[in-house]
Chains A and B, each alone.
Chain A
């Protein structure tokens, strides 16, 4: 593997495929994501977004094809991949019965941070999120928007090269979504690559580049402005509609 690849690309896939029996969930997708880029991964329910993401995060073995994440092969070296990524799942993944700081401590521990590092990170995080008063509160008592912001902060607390966000803003009010995206921009500026799946098309506009998945395949990929002009559309919403209406699969 060349150093050039390490320097330029955060994610690189070639014909990445996942089959469950006869069903091809992800069908030979190939794309590259640059360092520090905000990359949107769009598609209707059942298009294969989550399956693709689970392969890239080392949770799922690909059936064929290859993918490098943070310079490591996901098929042969998934544990190295895991050390270099952050992940925020669709399901809310903090422990409701633990306090805010206890969640931070636990996840810091999973990523091998020292107690001192965890303490410092906790202080910074509480400051940035304006949650100093809530440090001792049980997560179950926080409003959903706060939980999501906290989950995101925890996903990047070990300074990964890439963070994967699986529909991070589901069920969150527009103001919090706005704040959430500000956090994403901030994180990308620090050099962390953002790989985000969503089906909110207004969010797609926030991404630098997007890939649109339909029935397990990538139907279009590029800068949002390029896609809009290529499809003579006024918004990503229209682009998505043009591409996705041909879909045969849904949940």
Chain B
């Protein structure tokens, strides 16, 4: 017991004596949580619209006004020259171009229908798709308004209107920040827990001090625990800091179920520190460890449902996402912070994380060799 206690003491002394690690632990999470959620916003606003109006009618003008009034669009360029469209897209002066053909109004009145052309720059796929969708919405609305002008509706409308009134639960304003902050906090826990533990052991390999440890009678599990516990505890410091920042900066109040986050994090950190230890068994320099850690980190982040929903991934990617520990942490964090989830709600996730943790730590102990 004394041995284990002294190993812990030594680890903490080294951590608190290294300014680089201290910055990583205290400054990085705070800064990232303050800045990133504002920037990592998925809502597409300020789509630059170019309009080519070849009709110059009342209808074409009122359609243009509709775009001007939308907060999603910015009327960037306007012309009556058909050839302008491609030039605007090439020079990125417009993200999408709407061409109102000649005799738009008269065709509409005469034939009850008319055609518009929509050209979208789809280099940025998300922006292109959303832009096209928003545009259809605006045109739809325009359509209905004309109908209202034209018809005196009978008591029973021959073409029924169905209006959907959405209510956003748990995140009433569908605020993107509220969605991202818990996820980013989960990523930060992963980076510090996984990276720092891996780098710590590999550093001992580089210095040669691990050799001194390997010729000592210290037990494998004592060594692994001695490396695991400090980073496990540091994870809670980061979590607490992160929750404070989320509340102060982003107004996300954790609610009464906050304890559940700590319980979940306790298990999650065990898994992720185990991952770091496993990583250190297969690398011999800090550079290697860093590279490999980045490789996994990217996969963890992209296949965790942090940015994109797992359900829309191809089946093979979904399989990876479901064995990705970060998937569960991101989701649990959102469940608790936004929905106030109970432990009962978290139970399925807790089970998976416990299983992943056991496997990773078992592998870490198994692949650590005091001798070769």
From the candidates A79, A83, A92, A106, name the one contacting B6 in the complex (CB within 8 A). Answer: A106
Chain B residue with the shortest CB-CB distance to A90: B208
Any A CB within 8 A of the CB of B14 = yes
Contacts of B319 in A (CB 8 A): none
Does B6 contact A89, Cβ atoms closer than 8 Å? no
Instruction: Decide yes or no: A106 and B372 within 8 Å by CB, A89-B212, A91-B207, A114-B2 being known contacts.
Output: no
Binds A, one of B74-82, B141-149, B214-222: B214-222
CA–CA, A107 and B213, complex, Å? 9
Q: Does B57 contact A (CB under 8 A)?
A: no
User: In the complex where A97-B18, A102-B10 touch, is A59 in contact with B215 (Cβ < 8 A)?
Assistant: yes
User: A58 to B218, alpha carbons, bound, how many Å?
Assistant: 13
Contact A110 B3 (CB under 8 A): yes
In the assembled complex, A152 has its CB within 8 A of some CB on chain B: no
Given the complex, which residues of A lie within 8 Å of B7, measured CB to CB? 106, 109-110
Q: With A61-B371, A89-B211 in contact, do A97 and B17 touch (Cβ < 8 Å)? A: yes
User: In the assembled complex, which residues on chain B have CB atoms less than 8 Å from the CB atom of A109?
Assistant: 2-3, 5-7, 10
- Contact status B10-A98, CB under 8 Å: yes
Return the chain A residue nearest B223 by Cβ. Answer: A110
Q: How distant is the Cα of A192 from the Cα of B127 in the complex, in angstroms?
A: 76
Segment 58-97 of A: residues with Cβ below 8 Å from B: 58-61, 78-79, 82-83, 85, 87, 89, 91-95, 97
**B209 on the interface (CB 8 Å rule)?**
yes
Complex contacts, B213 vs chain A, CB 8 Å: 110
A110-B218 contact, Cβ under 8 Å, with A89-B208, A89-B211, A102-B10: yes
Complexed CA–CA distance, A205 and B211 (Å) = 29
Inter-subunit contact B10/A82 (CB<8 Å): no
Q: Is A57 an interface residue (CB 8 A)?
A: yes
With A78-B371, A97-B18, A112-B2: A106-B10 Cβ-Cβ less than 8 Å: yes
Interface-centre pick from B5, B10, B212, B214 (highest chain A CB count, 10 A)? B212
The reply to whether the CB of B344 lies closer than 8 angstroms to some CB of chain A is no
Is B212 a contact partner of A61 (Cβ separation < 8 A)?
no
Q: Provide the bound-state CA to CA distance between A105 and B10, in Å.
A: 9
Q: Contact: A87 with B6, CB < 8 Å?
A: no
A interface, size bucket: 20 to 34
Indicate whether A111 sits within 8 Å of B216 (C-beta atoms), given known contacts A102-B10, A106-B10.
yes
Binding site secondary structure of chain A: loop
| Residue A115 interfacial (CB < 8 Å) | yes
A124 to B43, CA, bound (A): 69
- In-complex Cβ contact of B13 among A87, A98, A115 (8 A): A98
Choice from B2, B18, B212, B218 contacting A87 with Cβ under 8 Å: B212
Count of interface residues, chain B, beta-carbon cutoff 8 Å: 25
Tell me the minimal C-beta distance from B219 to chain A in angstroms: 8
Cα–Cα distance between A102 and B11 once the two chains are bound (Å): 11
**B interface footprint on A206-238 (CB within 8 Å = 1, 0 otherwise):** 000000000000000000000000000000000
Distance in angstroms from B215 CB to nearest chain A CB is 4
By a CB distance below 8 angstroms, the chain A residues around B216 are 82, 107, 110-111
- The answer to whether B6 touches A108, judged by C-beta atoms less than 8 angstroms apart, is yes
**Which chain B residues lie closer than 8 Å to A83 at the CB level?**
217
Docked-complex contact A98 and B14, CB < 8 angstroms: yes
Q: Roughly how many angstroms separate A59 CA and B370 CA in the complex, as a whole number?
A: 7
In angstroms, Cα B214 to Cα A61, docked, is 13
CB-contacts of B209-237 with A (<8 A): 209, 211-218
A111 touching B217 in the complex, CB below 8 Å, given contacts A97-B17, A98-B13, A106-B10: yes
The complex places the Cα of A82 from the Cα of B256 at a distance, in Å, of: 52
Contacts of A61 in B (CB 8 A): 371-372
Tell me which residues across on chain A come within 8 A of B2, comparing CB atoms. 109, 112-115
Question: Which residues of A have CB within 8 Å of B218?
Answer: 110
CB < 8 Å neighbour of B371 from A60, A92, A112, A114: A60
CA distance A114 to B208 in the complex (A): 25
Tell me whether A57 and B215 are in contact in the complex, defined as CB-CB below 8 angstroms, given that A109-B2, A109-B3, A115-B2 are known contacts.
yes
Given contacts A58-B371, A59-B371, A115-B2, contact A87 B14 (CB under 8 A): no
Find chain B residues with CB under 8 A from A114 CB: 2
Q: Give A104 to B4 CA distance when docked, in angstroms.
A: 15
B214 near A59 with CB under 8 A, answer yes
Do B217 and A95 touch across chains, with their CB atoms under 8 A apart?
no
Question: A92 contacts which chain B residues (CB < 8 A)?
Answer: 208
Beyond the given A97-B13, A111-B217, please list 6 additional residue pairs across the A-B interface where CB-CB is below 8 A: A78-B371, A82-B215, A87-B215, A107-B216, A110-B218, A112-B2
Residue contacts A-B, CB under 8 angstroms, 5 given: A57-B215, A87-B215, A93-B207, A106-B7, A110-B3
What residues of chain B have their CB less than 8 Å away from a CB belonging to chain A?
Answer: 2-3, 5-7, 9-10, 13-14, 17-18, 207-209, 211-218, 370-372
Footprint of B on A, CB under 8 Å?
57-61, 78-79, 82-83, 85, 87, 89, 91-95, 97-98, 102, 105-115
10 smallest CB-CB distances across A and B, nearest first, come from: A109-B6, A91-B208, A110-B216, A87-B215, A93-B212, A83-B217, A106-B10, A82-B217, A109-B3, A57-B215
